[in-house]
């Protein structure tokens, strides 16, 4: 008998139904009942990880403490559960095949023909159980990316079928997330797409234990009964997931629908106590009752797509609630900040954040935004590329090194104030080769950064190849830029700030990855506080 119980979340009918949020919400409820829970995501695409994907393809690339470049759903898991994920929490088809092929080359299959079943499915099942085997978790929730019926998902669904068979009835649970669309012309909710997707799942030998139905309207009793009858579940196993005002409402919505209770019952686990959501609900209360409003400009290259800056947007939600202020985010395409009148896009803002990014496009617009924020004393927050550009802007306009640049943008710049790290020079492979994951950082006594963190030593997550060039450090500091955080082992500058400005901070790392509901990131909290103050003085 297995000690760890496995819950699988599959999706039907359509993509983008929010499997990640449902998985995270269920995990939150189980955690709040006293269970040790983790979530992992299995993605059917061939890339080894999403690190090489353009944000337009798949949204933000999320980075874990151990330096894995992962799907953005892992960000939701961490934000909901306040528990770190790792490399093991995100697996792609590419990684499965890579590992099977490596084993084949090493002769580990002893001359056998290597096949999807059992070799690929064994590899998938093995990875499904890595976290379970660690002994750290009572329940492991595995989200299967994609939609049932996709060619790409088949080996994963087959592995789920085998897991159910091998682990036994009450040790695995399959939750199928589907869409119940509303047809305006007929004024009716329709169950047929759900019936079909449950049938597709059954054709693969897997029956859904619980249906979670995404819907824009309440599901009537009659409709629940119909779904239950056609889909082989009990009425109480039909869970409604109605569109929520904010994603953080979903755990309470699922609690009301009894998702956690039904799941525990089916897994034959005790209900323990009612979920303790005290902290969660006080966050929601603050989030929904703001005392004032501010507007932050998010200057980036991929602003059309909401998911590109997911963790930054969520960090603002956490920091807004902490400050009891509604944070309106105005997405500003960097290229739209014109040379002639940058203030046109920026004057009404209470704070400016320049986003991370790669490549040259949009950098001149970002530099204009930084200059404006610096000169007008508007709170400024630069993340990764945003920090690098703040250094370039300072070098150009304060040190008068007109052609200062990053060697990423201009290889032969006469003033490479941002340069590629020595150890990055020989790197040829693009995947998984940046400076990644958690690194320590020491904070300068008396700096704003130290005051914000309330600590002298911190650790933050990285994802970049370029760095502040230490050859320019003294010159920058002499002109008033304070390098307030550095890594002791490498001597690399991690934070810059301007002591003459009310709030001007650039960080080489990504603080947004570590902001959670239970623990909003101090830099975001402080930035919003500064923006609130700026707004009040305007």
Binding site for ligand GLN (CB under 6 A): 356-358, 384-385, 408, 463-466
Radius of gyration of the CA atoms of the chain, in A: 25
Question: Is residue 512 flagged as an active site residue?
Answer: yes
In this complex, which beta carbon is closest to ligand GLN, that of residue 295 or of residue 424?
424
In this complex, which beta carbon is closest to ligand GLN, that of residue 16 or of residue 471?
471
In this complex, which beta carbon is closest to ligand GLN, that of residue 160 or of residue 387?
387
CA distance 403 to 367: 13
- At closest approach, how far in Å is the CB of 299 from ligand GLN? 13
Half-sphere exposure of 94 (CA within 13 A, CB side): 12
In this complex, which beta carbon is closest to ligand GLN, that of residue 31 or of residue 469?
469
In this complex, which beta carbon is closest to ligand GLN, that of residue 123 or of residue 408?
408
What's the angle, vertex CA 380, arms to CA 376 and CA 385, rounded to 5?
125
Starting from the edge strand earliest in sequence, which strands make up the sheet with 404-406, in order? 404-406, 415-420, 466-468
In this complex, which beta carbon is closest to ligand GLN, that of residue 230 or of residue 358?
358
Q: Characterize 97-134 residue by residue with b for buried, 16 or more Cβ atoms within 10 angstroms of its Cβ, and e for exposed.
A: bebbeeeeeeeeeeeeeeeeeebbbebbbebbbebbee
| Of 76, 119, 318, 510, catalytic | 510
Starting from the edge strand earliest in sequence, which strands make up the sheet with 482-486, in order? 325-333, 292-300, 351-354, 380-383, 504-507, 493-497, 482-486, 435-443, 457-464
Please report the DSSP string for 297-337 in residue order.
EEEES-TTSGGGGHHHHHHHHHHHHHHTEEEEEEEEEGGGS
CA distance 204 to 85: 30
H or E segment and range at residue 163 = helix 154-167
- At closest approach, how far in Å is the CB of 408 from ligand GLN? 5
- At closest approach, how far in Å is the CB of 417 from ligand GLN? 13
- At closest approach, how far in Å is the CB of 317 from ligand GLN? 21
- At closest approach, how far in Å is the CB of 104 from ligand GLN? 35
CA distance 501 to 355: 20
Q: Characterize 472-507 residue by residue with b for buried, 16 or more Cβ atoms within 10 angstroms of its Cβ, and e for exposed.
A: bbeebeeeebbbbbbbeebebbbbbbbeebebbbbb
CA 105 to chain centre: 35
| Of 61, 384, 441, 483, catalytic | 384
Per DSSP, 359 falls in state S
CA distance 265 to 209: 11
- At closest approach, how far in Å is the CB of 508 from ligand GLN? 8
Question: Is residue 441 flagged as an active site residue?
Answer: no
In this complex, which beta carbon is closest to ligand GLN, that of residue 155 or of residue 300?
300
Half-sphere exposure of 477 (CA within 13 A, CB side): 13
Beta bridge mates, 493: 486
- At closest approach, how far in Å is the CB of 416 from ligand GLN? 13
CA distance 26 to 12: 18
In this complex, which beta carbon is closest to ligand GLN, that of residue 352 or of residue 385?
385
Question: Is residue 170 flagged as an active site residue?
Answer: no
- At closest approach, how far in Å is the CB of 496 from ligand GLN? 14
Residues designated catalytic: 384, 510, 512
């Amino acid at each position: 008998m297995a000690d760890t119980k496995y819950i699988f979340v599959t999706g039907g009918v359509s993509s983008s139904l929010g499997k990640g949020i449902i998985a995270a919400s269920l995990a939150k409820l189980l955690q709040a009942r006293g269970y040790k829970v983790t979530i992992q995501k299995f993605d059917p695409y061939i890339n080894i990880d999403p690190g090489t994907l353009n944000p337009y393809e798949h949204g933000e690339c999320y980075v874990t403490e151990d330096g894995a470049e992962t799907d953005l759903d892992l960000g939701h898991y961490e934000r909901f559960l306040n528990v770190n994920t790792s490399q093991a929490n995100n697996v792609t088809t590419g990684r499965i095949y890579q590992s099977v092929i490596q084993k084949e080359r090493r002769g580990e299959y002893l001359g056998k023909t290597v096949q999807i079943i059992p070799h690929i499915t064994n590899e998938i099942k093995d990875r499904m159980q890595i976290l379970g085997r660690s002994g750290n978790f009572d329940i492991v929730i595995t989200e299967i990316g994609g939609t049932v019926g996709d060619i790409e998902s088949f080996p994963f669904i087959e592995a789920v079928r085998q897991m159910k068979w091998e682990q036994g009835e009450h040790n695995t649970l399959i939750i199928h997330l589907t869409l119940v669309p509303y047809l305006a012309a007929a004024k009716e909710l329709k169950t047929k797409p759900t019936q079909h997707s449950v049938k597709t799942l059954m054709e693969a030998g897997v029956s859904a234990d619980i249906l979670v139905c995404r819907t824009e309207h309440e599901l009537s009793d009659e409709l629940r009964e119909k779904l239950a009858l056609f889909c082989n579940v009990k009425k109480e196993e039909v869970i409604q997931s109605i569109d929520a005002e904010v994603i953080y409402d979903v755990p309470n919505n699922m609690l009301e629908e009894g998702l956690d209770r039904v799941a525990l019952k089916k897994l034959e686990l005790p209900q323990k106590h009612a979920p303790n959501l005290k902290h969660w609900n006080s966050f929601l209360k603050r989030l929904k009752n703001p005392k004032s409003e501010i507007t932050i400009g998010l200057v980036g290259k991929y602003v059309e797509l909401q998911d590109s800056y997911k963790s930054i947007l969520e960090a603002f939600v956490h920091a807004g609630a902490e400050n009891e202020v509604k944070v309106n985010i105005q997405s500003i395409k960097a290229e739209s900040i014109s040379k002639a009148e940058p203030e046109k896009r920026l004057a009404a803002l209470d704070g400016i954040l320049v986003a991370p990014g790669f490549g040259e496009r949009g950098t001149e617009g970002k530099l204009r935004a930084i200059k404006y924020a610096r000169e007008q004393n508007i709170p400024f927050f630069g993340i990764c590329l945003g920090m690098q550009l703040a250094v370039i802007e300072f070098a150009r306009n304060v040190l008068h090194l007109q052609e200062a640049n990053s060697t990423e943008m201009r290889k032969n710049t006469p003033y490479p104030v941002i340069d590629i790290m020595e150890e990055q020079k020989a790197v040829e492979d693009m995947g998984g080769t940046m400076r990644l994951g958690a690194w320590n950082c020491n904070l300068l006594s008396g700096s704003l950064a130290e005051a914000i963190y309330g600590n002298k030593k911190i650790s933050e997550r990285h994802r970049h190849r370029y760095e502040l060039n230490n050859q320019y450090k003294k010159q920058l500091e002499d002109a008033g830029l304070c390098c307030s955080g550095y890594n002791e082992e490498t001597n690399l500058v991690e934070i810059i700030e301007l002591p003459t400005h009310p709030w001007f901070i650039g960080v080489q790392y990504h603080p947004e990855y570590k902001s959670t509901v239970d623990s909003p990131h101090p830099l975001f909290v402080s930035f919003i506080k500064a923006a609130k103050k700026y707004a009040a003085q305007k």
